Amino acid sequence: MPGAARPLDGITVIEIAQNLAGPYAGEILARLGADVVKIERPGGGDDARGWGPPFLDGAGSSFHAVNAGKRSVALDLRDPAALARLREALARADVLVQNLRAGALEALGLGAEALRAAYPRLIYCSVSAFGPTGPLRARPGYEPMMQAFSGLMLTGGHEGDPPGRIGVPLLDYGTGMWAALGVLAALRQRERTGAGCVVDASLFETALGWLGGHFASRRIGGEVPERHPTGSSKLIPFQAFETKTGPLIVAAGNDRLFAALARALERPEWAADPRYATNAGRYEHRATLLAAIDEIMRARTKGEWLDRLEQAGVPCAPVQTLVEALEQPQAAASGMIQPVPGMDLTLMGLPLRFDGARPPIPGRAPRLGEHELPP
């Protein structure tokens, strides 16, 4: 941050991770100021280097998104000398982030139990598909598999539609976030106790966490909430409606906002109608109400409805592409798009600010093996 030390200055992280979830945990820590040293296999390195097109500087765009500002050290961990050098680095490190297949690091003597015994201050963070316990603990898992397995894939879309993957790697990024949050908590705990600990995060558990609201509905109401392409299983109306020029999200999240919406739709009597006056009533009579709103919304353009609903104080938003979203003045004002030092490239910044300042991107993504282990 300008004029001040970043929160994790002085923290050294060894990352033995590839693809997205583990590297994203390391990326968060790097953006917060940690020195993140990425250990990669010679020759190919992280698989995500080959995920493309598009490619820049020999690596795919996904690699750049989650590895900016790190250092890359190429080590063949089957080589005893290289393994010894890594152990020396781990003795001085604060954190290890790893997402190798189950048992891989244990076979090298780098499992959590062995390293925690050798280096009591080390925080050992493992990122996996299913977590450290249970019959599936050794299975690998990629994003679409875990969206499918967890039930997340069947929360969107219309009832009866084929399953649809959420279009961003929500579980990879979410698991990386939980891993980084766990590391930060473990660092704080170490300040008090002097001891590190083992932090575990997994894609499956992240998915279950995101589905906590659905689980509560199941336990309290006895049913799994029905699927919705853009809407809510609890709030009516709270979804996209078609207009003459494209869809518009309308989010009348309480009875007061519904009354404002009814006036904007020129149906003020709805606010006093016992079928619609409360959210419970609107939910019970949702088919009739939503059909009526849909018919009205189709009569005007998206721009007309935006003006009318915003003047009425009804939350609403156009359904946009990423390009359209980035063209909005709010995107520029947010400062989320940041330059990458040393490259003609901008990337998304960390969605977090300290005293109004966003942590800068510390550097470009490393070329494979261009660095040495820290002394």
In this predicted structure, the answer to whether residue 225 has a pLDDT above a threshold of 50 is yes
> Which pLDDT score, from 0 to 100, does residue 234 have?
83
Of 206, 188, 151, the C-alpha closest to 24 is 206
Q: Give the C-alpha separation, 375 to 93, whole Å.
A: 11
Tokens of 174: 């979410």
What Å distances lie between residue 201 and 66, 98, 134, CA to CA? 17, 11, 14
pLDDT digits (tens, 9 = 90+) for 269-319: 999 999 999 999 999 999 999 999 999 999 999 999 999 999 999 999 999
- Strands in 12-16's sheet, in edge-to-edge order, are 71-74, 35-40, 12-16, 95-98, 123-128, 198-202
> Which pLDDT score, from 0 to 100, does residue 245 have?
95
> Which pLDDT score, from 0 to 100, does residue 3 have?
44
Cis peptide before 120 (omega within 30 of 0): no
Backbone angles phi, psi at 92, to 5 degrees: -105, -10
Domains of the chain: 12-210+335-348 (3.40.50.10540), 238-318 (3.30.1540.10)
Residue 375 exposed, middle or buried by CB count within 10 Å (0-12, 13-18, 19+) = exposed
In this predicted structure, the answer to whether residue 32 has a pLDDT above a threshold of 70 is yes
Across 51-73, average pLDDT: 96
pLDDT digits (tens, 9 = 90+) for 322-348: 999 999 999 999 999 999 998 999 999
Interstrand relation of 238-243 and 346-348 (parallel, antiparallel or unpaired):
unpaired
Told to judge if 161 belongs to the known catalytic residues of this protein, a careful annotator would answer: no
Mean pLDDT (the chain, rounded): 94
In this predicted structure, the answer to whether residue 264 has a pLDDT above a threshold of 80 is yes
In this predicted structure, the answer to whether residue 2 has a pLDDT above a threshold of 60 is no
Helices within the chain (DSSP H only): 21-31, 61-67, 80-92, 104-107, 112-118, 143-150, 170-193, 203-210, 212-221, 255-264, 279-284, 286-297, 302-312, 322-326, 329-334
State which amino acid sits at residue 70.
K
Cβ atoms of 184 and 191 closer than 8 Å? no
Q: Give the C-alpha separation, 293 to 186, whole Å.
A: 50
State which amino acid sits at residue 158.
H
Cβ atoms of 175 and 202 closer than 8 Å? yes
Does the pTM exceed 0.75?
yes
Residue 367 pLDDT grade (very low, low, confident, very high; cuts 50, 70, 90): very high
User: Which residue of the set 76, 94, 172, 273 is catalytic?
Assistant: 172
> Which pLDDT score, from 0 to 100, does residue 5 have?
57
Backbone angles phi, psi at 196, to 5 degrees: -80, -170
Residue 6 pLDDT grade (very low, low, confident, very high; cuts 50, 70, 90): confident
Q: Lowest mean pLDDT of 17-31, 123-137, 222-236, name the range.
A: 222-236
